[in-house]
Amino acid sequence: MSELSTRLHHHLEHAQVYEAARVTALEPIPLLGARLGQPVWLKREDTQAVFSFKLRGAYNKMAQLDETQRQRGVIAASAGNHAQGVALAAARLGIRAVIVMPVTAPQVKVDAVHRFGGDLVEVVLSGDSYSDAQLAAERLRQERGLTFVHPFDDLDVIAGQATVGLELLEQHPGPLHAVFVPVGGGGLLAGVAATIKRHRPDVKIIGVQTVDSDAMVRSLEAGHPVSMADVGLFSDGTAVKRVGDLTFALCQEHVDAMIRVDTDEVCAAIKDMYEDTRSIPEPAGALALAGLKQYAAGLSTPGAPLIAICSGANLNFDRLRFVAERAELGEQREAIYVVTIPERRGSLQRFCRLLGDHAITEFNYRIADAGEARVFVGIRTSQGGRQGLLQTFREAGYPTLDLSADELAKLHLRHLVGGRAPLAQDEWLYRFEFPERPGALGRFLEHMHPHWNISLFHYRNHGADYGRVLIGLQVPAEERPLFQAFLEQLGYPWSDESHHAAYRELLRCD
């Protein structure tokens, strides 16, 4: 064991954590475990008073300060969770604190810092990432003579986080294959890895980072800490451009492997945790579980239990819509395609028949060409079913482009299908509420008069009991009474939007 590891264990022996933090539960998540064929457990650090493990390290560091340092006050830089830990510690210990947070920090975290720290805490917003905030904090530290409370690269902070590992070992003394740890600057990974390896060297320690904030992965690959020019901000709690020197050295000594996960995998892990626990972690809090799932998928045979540390739950509520949108793609339960079909009556109905029992999750179409129609379609699939659907469409003579892994399509293009269409003569625009079940669209098409043509179609599954559908139908004026009878017989709620101002300004030509 290295001298650094020995020093860490000395700090751990004198750690003061439980005056503010609590022992968190180690919970089984049986639904995901059954799906993976592997026992899976979650260490619930999201249930701390500040909804994050960061309280442990922040409080331990500030509790070790001498009286002179306490009188001067402290300063910290944080993307949010460390800031809340420092704020609560400041209030408990009566220490004034300045906390610098990036302007991209979720508002829920900024508000929580004010709430936990009260009048003892001053919040400064600066920069787009933790590393930017750290530079601003260093300037203020020098100007005001404050003590810097580092979020990860400090032995007292690392020792505080290491108590997670001690708890985990006490709670799960039996066989254990691997522990998965989310990684930003590396404080939690360094502390947990060094602690578990001291007592259970047989247990694998695996760090998990996002593909666009993988400074620890790159550093371990290079053999020294490296700096990233930019980091992704979706997992804001781990958006660190450079890992710590201390955390790097400890991880290099004790960590067995690192895993990268993408945004869709993180969103899928958030959904998995919700389904098993009815709790919603933040993206950084779901990182370890996303890595665990990726690792488990590569195991040839089930082994001993796997544990993921859920590090936090400080999620902005408005981010949930994005998470829900991407979770199905992360689980490979939704595929999105652009399919070219002949632009003639009945083509859409024939295309829907190819889907069989597959549910449509999204359908966007706007008439644009007299010969061909291109539809943007999302389809619920079983895991790994994308290629089978792609082959089905192509064998039926429909040229198809698979966009399931295309970031431009997932973020933007799916919302841009539409516009004015000179071919859309005699068009009427209607909103419908379809029952949210497979075959609802097919039944609509079967009852529709064969003379009427669909010139616009927009639908996206939003998880409700019914689907909201916008349809443009080309119905000659003389057939309007027949169309009205069709609407009455259909039995779906509807609304005529043909005279809507936005429709006339953006979509209608005549």
How far is residue 463's CA from residue 226's CA, in Å, rounded to a whole number? 43
Residue entry with tokens 């953006």: 506
Q: Is 148 helix (H, G, I), strand (E, B) or coil?
A: strand
Task: Tell me the C-alpha to C-alpha distance, in Å, between residue 448 and each of 153, 395, 429, 485.
Answer: 67, 27, 15, 11
For the chain, first and last CA: distance in Å? Answer: 79
Q: Which two tokens stand for residue 440?
A: 């609802």
| Beta strands across the sheet bearing 494-496 | 400-402, 334-342, 372-380, 360-366, 453-460, 466-474, 427-435, 494-496
Pick the catalytic residue: 5, 52, 131, 311? 311
Query: Catalytic site residue 197?
Result: no
Q: How far apart are CA 121 and CA 87, in angstroms?
A: 6
Name the β-bridge partners of 466. 435
Q: Which of 437, 438, 427, 434 is nearest to 459 (CA)?
A: 434
DSSP string covering 108-143? HHHHHHHHHHGGGEEEEE-SSSHHHHHHHHHHHHHH
Q: Is the CA virtual torsion 57, 58, 59, 63 positive or negative?
A: positive
CA 232 to chain CA centroid, nearest Å: 12
Catalytic residue from among 43, 54, 241, 410: 54
**CB environment 166-187: b (16+ within 10 A), e (fewer):** bbbbeebeeebbbbbbbbbbbb
**54 has catalytic annotation:** yes
**Could you tell me if 311 and 284 are in contact, meaning their C-beta atoms sit under 8 angstroms apart?**
yes
194 Cβ neighbours under 8 A, 6+ residues apart: 5, 8, 9, 158, 162, 165, 250, 253, 254
- Side-chain-facing half-sphere of 303: CA atoms under 13 Å: 15
Name the burial class of residue 503, with classes exposed (0-12), middle (13-18) and buried (19+) by CB atoms within 10 angstroms of its CB. Answer: middle
The residues annotated as belonging to the active site are 54, 311
